[in-house]
Amino acid sequence: MNVKEGSNAKNDAADSAVKHAAGHATKNATKGGKRRSGAIAKADGGICAPSGFRAAGVHCGFRKNTTKKDLALIVSDVICNAAAVYTRNKVQGAPIVVNREHLKDGRAGAIICNSGIANTCAPGGVEIARETCRLAAAEIGMDAQDIIVCSTGVIGEPLNIETFRRGIPRVAKKLSYDDSDGAARAIMTTDRMKKETAVSFVLDGKRCHIGGIAKGSGMINPNMATMLSFITTDVAISAEMLKYALGSDVVDTYNQISIDGDTSTNDTVAALANGLAGNPEIDEAGASFDLFCAALRFVTSELCRGIVKDGEGASKLLECVVKGAPTGRIARIVSSSVVRSSLVKTAMFGEDANWGRILCAVGYADADFECGRMDIFLSSEAGEVMVCHDSEAVRFDEELAKRILAKDEIRITVDLRDGLKEAVAYGCDLTYQYVRINGRYRT
């Protein structure tokens, strides 16, 4: 991803936003005898949950399977403050080149995305991405510079602009205030399920929403991957603070997921804020910004869990919690190291409590910390078992461990006992089916 770890102050701000938002919401709920803010609650509607957003998805020919939608469009009723973060892969898709140009002013009003072909290393890719924006702008009455364009699918395949010419008028005509589902399905590639969520909350007396959709199930590795995520909100927030919130959030969400260790070329998380909720614009840090960040974290965490749970061929979601670390950065590095390990992934697939593989992955994590006193636990809805204490073997119930690992969501807890910080990373097991899927991906 394009946003680096950043300063300690920035990371502390992100941690603080999540940790204290609930407190701010409670404190401000009755301040001055007037309801000012409220708890974050799940909402229906996905990216259409916030006021003033329409969406749609259609099949127009990028994919051979005519039953699968392959072109999505998301449009705001008004131009939005906008922000985006991108893959850190040195080879980047043509849409990222265009989006960097379009988002220089921090403004956008729509997102268009095709699936099936990635528009990476493709002939005339940048011009095709620009022409796509021009075609979309003409249909929805917007400046082409205010369009975000994304593509996902096979790398190196040529894109035909005529497919966009056919599809864009069709998807524009289908735009609806309640078709987040159509857009969510249109951006899927090898995904087995759509990823969609939304929340509502009261901010300074105004009912606000954040919604999101995502795609991704393979070529996923921390620092983003073959993953796209689009976030909408009706909160009034400045472009600068939206960029700050999104850049801080991805450090602990999208950058903490891994399926197969491959970082792709087109990955983008884009956020649009149209301000139609009518709250006073958030233009500085404070209680309102903290609440917004907490709501954003709720949405992005849900989407990230959905991505790894839908990993190509996956049968189990893995969550690694590292606590007792000297710094938050070290906790993030260690937890990511564990969920990236192919040997840990295969052990979880085989329901084998081979904790030595976890210990090994902790040990080669690229960070400076003490690992001579760590404890390791395995848990699921079937229970919890300690498998390592003080970095040494302990007797444990193998049958209980087997029952724990038989569940489809497993938590690995590593307590370094070397500090007070913690972090979480998400991954999945590695199965035979992953090889089958990727051995014939183009066909």
Helix (H) or strand (E) holding 400: helix 398-405
Predicted local distance difference test score (pLDDT) of residue 440: 65
- In percent, the amount of the chain with pLDDT more than 70 equals 85
Architecture in CATH of 8-305: 4-Layer Sandwich (3.60)
Tell me the three state secondary structure of residue 379.
strand
**290 confidence band (pLDDT: 50, 70, 90):** very high
Average pLDDT estimate for 173-185: 97
In sequence order, which ranges of 38-193 are alpha helices (DSSP H)? 94-102, 125-140, 161-173, 180-186
Predicted local distance difference test score (pLDDT) of residue 18: 40
Asked if 8-305 and 317-439 have one fold, the answer is no
First-to-last CA distance in the chain?
29
Is 33 a residue whose pLDDT tops 80? no
Better pLDDT: 121 or 231: 231
Please choose, from the candidates 252, 171, 185, 245, the residue with its C-alpha nearest in 3D space to the C-alpha of residue 423.
Answer: 252
DSSP 285: S
In sequence order, which ranges of 48-124 are alpha helices (DSSP H)? 94-102
Please choose, from the candidates 177, 187, 245, 246, the residue with its C-alpha nearest in 3D space to the C-alpha of residue 213.
Answer: 187
Contact indicator for 271, 82 with CB cutoff of 8 Å: yes
- In percent, the amount of the chain with pLDDT more than 90 equals 68
- Measured CA to CA in angstroms, residue 76 lies from 273, 336, 372, 391 at distances of 9, 36, 54, 54
**161 confidence band (pLDDT: 50, 70, 90):** very high
**19 confidence band (pLDDT: 50, 70, 90):** very low
Please choose, from the candidates 177, 128, 121, 184, the residue with its C-alpha nearest in 3D space to the C-alpha of residue 154.
Answer: 121
Distance separating alpha carbons of residues 74 and 83, to the nearest angstrom: 15
The backbone torsions φ and ψ at residue 400, rounded to the nearest 5 degrees and listed phi first, read -65, -45
**157 confidence band (pLDDT: 50, 70, 90):** confident
pLDDT in tens, 55-91: 999 999 998 888 899 999 999 999 999 999 987 777 7
Torsion angle of C-alpha atoms 106, 110, 115, 117, degrees rounded to 10: -60
Tell me the three state secondary structure of residue 428.
strand
Angle at 269 between CA 263 and CA 271, to 5 degrees: 175
Average pLDDT estimate for 180-209: 94
- Among 154-168, 253-267, 309-323, 418-432, which is the least confidently predicted range? 253-267
Distance separating alpha carbons of residues 394 and 54, to the nearest angstrom: 56
pTM to 2 decimal places: 0.79
Q: Would you call 87 a catalytic residue per the annotation? A: no
- Among 7-11, 85-89, 147-151, 423-427, which is the least confidently predicted range? 7-11
- Fold topology of 317-439: Ubiquitin-like (UB roll) (3.10.20)
Please choose, from the candidates 351, 354, 340, the residue with its C-alpha nearest in 3D space to the C-alpha of residue 315.
Answer: 351
Q: Which residue of the set 120, 132, 226, 232 is catalytic?
A: 226
Side-chain-facing half-sphere of 70: CA atoms under 13 Å: 24
Domain residue spans in the chain? 8-305, 317-439
Distance separating alpha carbons of residues 390 and 376, to the nearest angstrom: 9
Q: Which amino acid does the sequence have at 212?
A: G
Q: Which residue shows structure tokens 């300074």?
A: 204
pLDDT in tens, 214-245: 997 654 444 434 589 999 999 999 999 999 99
- Among 282-286, 402-406, 430-434, which is the least confidently predicted range? 430-434
Predicted local distance difference test score (pLDDT) of residue 23: 39
